[in-house]
Amino acid sequence: QKEVEQNSGPLSVPEGAIASLNCTYSDRGSQSFFWYRQYSGKSPELIMFIYSNGDKEDGRFTAQLNKASQYVSLLIRDSQPSDSATYLCAVGPSGGGADGLTFGKGTHLIIQP
């Protein structure tokens, strides 16, 4: 049974600061990792994906992957009130392919103006 663990929060961060969201996963064979942002009542929106160890940057977002530690993180720089949402960490199937994603329970992020 694959598991993806996230701290449910809420995580409260002042506006302009760096928000750091963390995720661990149980399946050592997992190859693909995703961060989705979900506003209340809306569907998940893909904001980052990462396949290789190290950092991947896209604008204010940086995803970090450490396969040895089975750890994925998302950093949001210069946090804005509009970043307040639930962030879902998701892990792809072992070996890749169209097998669906396994999601963590999500971290509720609050950016304080």
Partner 1 sequence: DTEVTQTPKHLVMGMTNKKSLKCEQHMGHRAMYWYKQKAKKPPELMFVYSYEKLSINESVPSRFSPECPNSSLLNLHLHALQPEDSALYLCASSHPVLIDTQYFGPGTRLTVL
Contact flag: residue 32 with partner 1 (CB under 8 A) = yes
CB of 27 to partner 1, least distance (A): 13
Contact flag: residue 100 with partner 1 (CB under 8 A) = yes
Residue 39 or 78: which CB sits closer to partner 1? 39
Q: In 3D, which of 94, 17, 30 has the Cα closest to residue 65?
A: 30
Residues that contact partner 1, how many (by CB under 8 A): 23
Contacts of 30 (CB under 8 A, 6+ apart): 2, 91, 92, 93, 94
**Is the CB of residue 88 less than 8 Å from the CB of residue 106?**
yes
Contact flag: residue 104 with partner 1 (CB under 8 A) = yes
Where does this chain touch partner 1 (CB under 8 A) — which range of 9-17, 18-26, 34-42, 64-72?
A: 34-42
Contact flag: residue 105 with partner 1 (CB under 8 A) = yes
Q: Which residue has the tokens 């989705």?
A: 36
Residues 65 and 87: their CA atoms lie apart, in Å, by: 16
CB of 84 to partner 1, least distance (A): 16
CA 10 to chain centre: 15
> Can you give the binding site for partner 1, defined by CB under 8 A?
31-32, 34, 36, 42-46, 49, 88, 92-93, 96-101, 103-106
